[in-house]
Amino acid sequence: MTRAVVLLSGGLDSAVALAIAREQVGAGGCFAISFDYGQRHGHELAAARRVAGRLGVASERHVVVRVGLDAIGGSALTDTRIEVPKGRGAGGAGGAGEMAHGVPVTYVPARNLVFLSCAAGFAETVGASRLYIGVNAVDYSGYPDCRSEFIEAFERAANLGTKAGVEALARGEVGGALRVCVPLVRMSKAAIIRRGAELGVDFALTHSCYDPVVRDEQALACGRCDSCVIRRRGFEEAGVRDTTRYA
Amino acid sequence: MTRAVVLLSGGLDSAVALAIAREQVGAGGCFAISFDYGQRHGHELAAARRVAGRLGVASERHVVVRVGLDAIGGSALTDTRIEVPKGRGAGGAGGAGEMAHGVPVTYVPARNLVFLSCAAGFAETVGASRLYIGVNAVDYSGYPDCRSEFIEAFERAANLGTKAGVEALARGEVGGALRVCVPLVRMSKAAIIRRGAELGVDFALTHSCYDPVVRDEQALACGRCDSCVIRRRGFEEAGVRDTTRYA
């Protein structure tokens, strides 16, 4: 049976990536990995646990890896001294916000490189031959580590840098032992939401907001950060009811 | 001024790599990164701090990043249920130990991939254009992530996956913003020790043993694990006095 490791952030995209992985390799083949990386909010990890549970990944198949990216600094998501941008409109070709002007301040240096590397190690440990990551080059074109060229280069490095990879290459298996799957990379947010809805993803379990408001121990989306604006517009365009709880 | 980030484990090789980086970019350009990754012993980190201090890297330029590789498992170095092999002789073409038979149990899945990825993030934050890593493909040929092919593939992925890298590629800089330097990759242990001695490295500060004996709060080398055997033989061949404290 093919085994897959899915990078699960607790956001909408990675929830849909997990649902797609589940459809492709079966629920019994799915493992998940999440990261506690000094992000400002623990809500993402709580959401990742809810999503994993709902989509049939038992807790012993879901690891949370602590990675101290806050020690490295350089991002609004790990450094409270840098403000998360708001209210300028976000993403897309016509956007006036951070997404439209090169790399946003919410970029975390080498984040996906670090996360994929840990996931490659976990894949090797559990014997998985696929990694799924919900990167998207449409709305997140400002993030270099969300593009296909990066993913392909990473896949090669991961195969050359792991035991499973070099053994497969030595047996003549083209590409090595590990394939990195990016099912969402060319999809619009609306298309991702429609695909998730078809696969039964409960979007209310997911958390996308960069700057949530906590009320009665619940994290409510701010509705104004880049991530919220892209998400809200996606539901509108998809014609799917937005069950996000806004502040 | 060129800035460099050096991966510093506390072992002999990375101390020599730092001394070489210092010679090449000057002490003022050197930053260091170490990892707390659930390895069995904290002695390595204590050694990394001593080495950094002695070679002129101020503590604010030396970050220690926590990476929970123990959550991923799969290695004798992070999983106390797996025994560190001993007394079979180690390394080299004629060795009968772990090093001679494919990938050793002390291999940690994707370790250098994860460490280099974090280092690439740190390099981006501090504006460094070089990473130094003391990998060695002579004594550690069993570790896929110590080989040049892997390092080259990683360098490409790191440039495509970071802001600094893609911006340099967009300006037409061949190879991107970051170069990964592996000054020790083709050197024998004896040659590494001779080079370190020339550069004034105090080897007594370094820690290589996989399975140290703690006495009077000092970590003494076991003298028998693969790492100790390779190190001890290196001093003999180099004709340099071995100041390692053995149990």
The nearest alpha carbon in chain B to A146 belongs to B161
- List chain A residues with CB under 8 Å of B72: 63, 65, 118, 121-122, 125
Q: What is the pLDDT of residue A43?
A: 87
CATH of domain A4-202: 3.40.50.620
Q: Do B110 and A103 touch (CB under 8 A)?
A: no
Mean per-residue pLDDT, B38-65: 90
A116 CA to chain B: closest CA distance, Å?
8
- Band (pLDDT 50/70/90 cuts) for residue B69 is confident
By Cβ distance, the residue of B69, B154, B158 closest to A161 is B154
CA A92 centroid distance within chain:
19
B242 CA to chain A: closest CA distance, Å?
32
A160 CA to chain B: closest CA distance, Å?
5
Sheet holding B4-7, edge to edge: B62-66, B30-36, B4-7, B130-132, B179-181
**Secondary structure of A111-127 in the HEC alphabet?**
HHHHHHHHHHHHHHHHC
CA B155 centroid distance within chain:
17
Q: CB-side exposure of A170: number of CA atoms within 13 Å?
A: 10
- Asked if residues A212 and A221 have their Cβ atoms less than 8 Å apart, the reply is yes
∠ CA(A97), CA(A91), CA(A112), 5° rounding?
A: 105
Q: Do A122 and B72 touch (CB under 8 A)?
A: yes
Residue B106 scores a pLDDT above 80: no
Q: Is the dihedral of CA B85, A119, A81, A145 positive or negative?
A: positive
The structure's pTM equals 0.89
Q: How far apart are CA A87 and CA B45, in angstroms?
A: 44
The residues pairing with A214 across neighbouring beta strands, listed in sequence order, are A219
**Secondary structure of B64-103 in the HEC alphabet?**
EEEECHHHCCCCCCCCCCCCCCECCCCCCCCCCCHHHCCC
Residue B94 scores a pLDDT above 60: no
B125 CA to chain A: closest CA distance, Å?
5
By Cβ distance, the residue of B113, B118, B156 closest to A161 is B113
CA B171 centroid distance within chain:
32
Express each pLDDT in B41-53 by its tens digit: 788 999 999 999 9
Q: What is the pLDDT of residue A1?
A: 85
A29 CA to chain B: closest CA distance, Å?
17
- List chain B residues with CB under 8 Å of A142: none
Q: What is the pLDDT of residue B211?
A: 86
**A79/B223: higher pLDDT:** B223
Q: How far apart are CA B85 and CA B99, in angstroms?
A: 10
A246 CA to chain B: closest CA distance, Å?
32
Residue B81 scores a pLDDT above 80: no
Q: How far apart are CA B63 and CA A213, in angstroms?
A: 32
- Give every residue of chain A whose pLDDT is below 70, as ranges: 40, 74-106
In this predicted complex, what is the ipTM? 0.88
Express each pLDDT in B115-130 by its tens digit: 999 999 999 999 999 9
Q: What are phi and psi of A30, to 5 degrees?
A: -90, 130
Q: What is the pLDDT of residue B104?
A: 65
The residues pairing with B131 across neighbouring beta strands, listed in sequence order, are B5, B180
Establish if B69 touches chain A: CB-CB under 8 angstroms. yes
Q: How far apart are CA B195 and CA B197, in angstroms?
A: 5
- Asked if residues A45 and A34 have their Cβ atoms less than 8 Å apart, the reply is yes
- List chain B residues with CB under 8 Å of A63: 71-72
Give domain limits for chain A. Answer: 4-202
Q: Do B68 and A66 touch (CB under 8 A)?
A: yes
The tokens for B50 are 């001593």
Q: How far is CA B20 from CA B26, B27, B30, B147, B236, in A?
A: 9, 10, 10, 19, 22
Express each pLDDT in B175-191 by its tens digit: 889 999 999 999 999 99
Residue A199's nearest CA partner among A58, A54, A59, A63 is A54
- List chain A residues with CB under 8 Å of B147: 160
By Cβ distance, the residue of A67, A111, A162 closest to B110 is A162
**Which of the residue ranges A26-40, A62-76, B3-17, B71-85 would you say has the lowest mean pLDDT?**
B71-85
Residue A204's nearest CA partner among A7, A15, A9, A6 is A15
In single-letter form, the type of residue at position A167 comes to E
Q: What is the pLDDT of residue A97?
A: 35
Mutate which of B163, B171, B178, B182 to disrupt the A interface (most A C-beta within 10 Å)? B163
Establish if B71 touches chain A: CB-CB under 8 angstroms. yes
Determine what percent of chain B is predicted with pLDDT higher than 90: 66
The tokens for A69 are 């990216």
Topology of domain B4-201 in CATH is Rossmann fold (3.40.50)
- List chain B residues with CB under 8 Å of A149: 160
By Cβ distance, the residue of B67, B110, B147 closest to A67 is B67
- List chain B residues with CB under 8 Å of A66: 66-68, 71
